[in-house]
Structure formats: C-alpha cells, structure tokens
Amino acid sequence: MALAALLHSPAALSQPTTTSAAPAKSGVESGAASTPPASSSTAAPSTAAPASVEPVDPKLAQYKQLITRALEEFDARNFEEATALLDQAYAVRPTARVLRGLGKVRFEQRQYVRALEAFDGSLTATLDPLTDSMRDEVSELRTRAASYVGEIRIETDPADAVVTLDGRELKPGFTAPIRLDMGAHSVSATAKGYQAGSRTVDVVGGSLSVVSLKLTRQEANVLVIHNERDRTGLWVTAGLGVGLVGATVGSAIWTINRMDAANRCSEAETAGVTCITASTINSERDAALATLVVSSVLTAAASVTFAVLLSSSDDDDKTKPSARVYCTGEVGGARCGLWGTW
C-alpha cells in the first residue's frame, strides 16, 4: 500500500497559500467595445502596487523534504531509513498523518506494538487531522496489528525483585500487563539474598499470559578457616615427659651404682672383713630402686598422656575447626560473617 497516498504527497501537507487575483479579461473576452489605446502623451501613470510575495517557512520546507525522502525509501522498501526520516519529520511538525505513516512502516517491519502506538496517536492528533476515510483505514490496520500482539503479566516472589524483559530492566512496582509482539521473549528476575531466575515465554497474539518467577533463597556457603589452636597442655606434658625420662635414666644409673657397692660389701663380709658403710649403702640402694620405679611409672604415664593429647589435637583440627566464615552471595559480591570457637 503506497505511503504517498497515505501522506497525500508533500505538496498536500504544506500550509495553504493565498490565491493570486485572476487577470482582467480583455474587452473581447468580456464583450465590451474596444477603444483605441491612449497615446503615450496622455496615458495616466500606473499606480498598481507590486504583487506581494508569500514568506517561505523554513521548517515547512524541511518537513516537505523529509517526507519526500521518506516516500522514496518506503517505495524502495528501506523501512528503517523511512522510519528514521519520518521520526525527523515528526520532530519538525508532529502531524496526525506522519504518525499514520509511522504506523504503516512499523506494520511492514512487524513491529506491531509500536505500530499500535503510532496508530493510536494518529487518531487523536489535531495537527493535519485524518480524514474519515483515513481514520477508517487506520482502524482496520490497528485491528490487524492488535491480532499480532499479546500481553504478559509478570509475578515475582519476592515481590520486590528486579525484573528484566528482553534485556531491558522494568520500572519498580509495575503491575499492568505488558504488550509484546508475538514470539519468544526472555524474562529474568534478581533479588538480594536469592538466586536469579529466568524464563522464556512464547507470546501468542491476542492472548494474556501470566509469568511467575519464584526465586530460591541462597544458602550460606561455609568457608572453614583453621587457626592455630592452644597446644600448651600438649607441650607441657611433652616437657614433663622428657624430664621424667631423664630422672628415670639417672635413677637407673644410681641404682646400678648402689647395688654394685652393696654387692662389694657383701663379698667383703663373706671374706671376714667388716663393711662399716653396709647399712648406708643398702639404704641408698633401696632409695635408688624406689626412685627408679616411681620415675618409670611417671614416664610411662606422661608418654600415654602425650599420645592422647596429640591424637585429640589432630582430631579437633580435622572435625572441629576453630573458626567458620559464613558467606552469602549478593549482587556484585558476597556478605560474610565470622564465627569463631576457642
């Protein structure tokens, strides 16, 4: 369908101009008797005023030029170029007929939602309003475009989620259904403390679809940090054990020495020689034996305690970390909290 007919050509869009006066008829044309021309010597001087020149509106000239170029592009089926030129023409002179032309171009581009917007605007615009036949044509095209447009209503949980439709973020608090061209459209939602959700909806012309996005709460990710634990008891037990081992070795050497001395005294007395220090040596031998027994028991106990403490410390490091960091993902990063146990 020709866009030239739609716009009634650039000339028809111009403002009306004044009509020039019709030239006076000659005497023959009017039927009056002819008279001889007056001589130059008796001719009266002319008093007719010069013809007035209508001023040219530069915006109107620009408008007509843009319309002409838009018609050429439309006829060549260069719809994007025609749209750009009509948008420029509308900026210069926002007429109902330019909106009608934009609606037709959008219709050819299968941008039916934008075509509806242009058609609706053309029916209400007052500058260069549409004729009755134009309004009938626009109404018919609008009905056809509406059959290729569907609506969706988006519901989210939580309700304050940020919604993106086809990569474009929607204004917060929207509730009305959204008109979309038929076909596949992508809907996604994000909210603080929730995992992002998305869906692809297939819009059907003339129908209303409800898109529900229920987001899932994010679980805290636990980051375990192993701090150096207090091992004082372990090292004290180890040091005590080392000391007891030394005491046991010393007690053993002392015991051997006193037992050897006691044996020599016994041999001397057997040979008839009196050992005047026999009682002292025997007492020291008994004390050395007692010391050896006690230090050996204590060394064994320290060794067992050290082994138990060491094993318990290793188990705690593996199963009971001294600190945990709980991290919850957020948009642009994460929020973490430290929980320490000592």
Report which DSSP code applies to 39: P
309 occurs within a structural domain: yes
The answer on 250 and 296 residing in a single domain is yes
Residue 268 confidence (pLDDT):
78
Residue 114 confidence (pLDDT):
96
Residue 30 confidence (pLDDT):
33
220 occurs within a structural domain: no
The CATH number covering residue 122 comes to 1.25.40.10
Give, for 83, the enclosing helix (H) or strand (E).
Answer: helix 79-92
Q: Are 113 and 97 in contact (CB under 8 A)?
A: no
Model pLDDT for residues 74-114, shown as the tens digit of each residue: 999 999 999 999 999 999 999 999 999 999 999 999 999 99
The answer on 111 and 63 residing in a single domain is yes
The answer on 206 and 141 residing in a single domain is no
34 occurs within a structural domain: no
Residue 180 confidence (pLDDT):
95
pLDDT over 90, % of the chain: 44
Residue 340 and residue 342: Cα distance in Å, rounded?
7
The answer on 196 and 115 residing in a single domain is no
The answer on 315 and 238 residing in a single domain is yes
The answer on 162 and 123 residing in a single domain is no
342 occurs within a structural domain: no
> Pick the residue with more confidence: 113 or 19?
113
The residue from 162, 186, 214 where one domain ends is 214
Q: Which residues pair with 329 in a beta bridge?
A: 334
Residue 136 and residue 132: Cα distance in Å, rounded?
6
Q: Once rounded to an integer, what is the mean pLDDT over residues 151-156?
A: 93
pTM of the model: 0.52
The answer on 271 and 234 residing in a single domain is yes
36 occurs within a structural domain: no
The answer on 173 and 139 residing in a single domain is no
The answer on 197 and 122 residing in a single domain is no
Could you write out the DSSP letters of every residue in 132-151?
A: HHHHHHHHHHHHHHHTTEEE
Ranked by mean pLDDT, the top range of 21-35, 66-80, 168-182, 294-308 is 66-80
Identify the domain containing residue 160 by its residue range. Answer: 149-214
The answer on 234 and 206 residing in a single domain is no
Residue 131 confidence (pLDDT):
95
Q: Are 169 and 162 in contact (CB under 8 A)?
A: yes
The residue from 121, 146, 171 where one domain ends is 146
The answer on 87 and 141 residing in a single domain is yes
CA dihedral sign of residues 125, 130, 132, 137:
negative
249 occurs within a structural domain: yes
115 occurs within a structural domain: yes
Model pLDDT for residues 237-266, shown as the tens digit of each residue: 777 778 878 888 888 898 898 888 888 888
The CATH number covering residue 184 comes to 2.60.40
The answer on 312 and 243 residing in a single domain is yes
7 occurs within a structural domain: no
> Pick the residue with more confidence: 166 or 237?
166
Q: How many domains does the chain have?
A: 3
The residue from 146, 166, 192 where one domain ends is 146
Q: Once rounded to an integer, what is the mean pLDDT over residues 26-43?
A: 38
pLDDT at 12 over 50: no
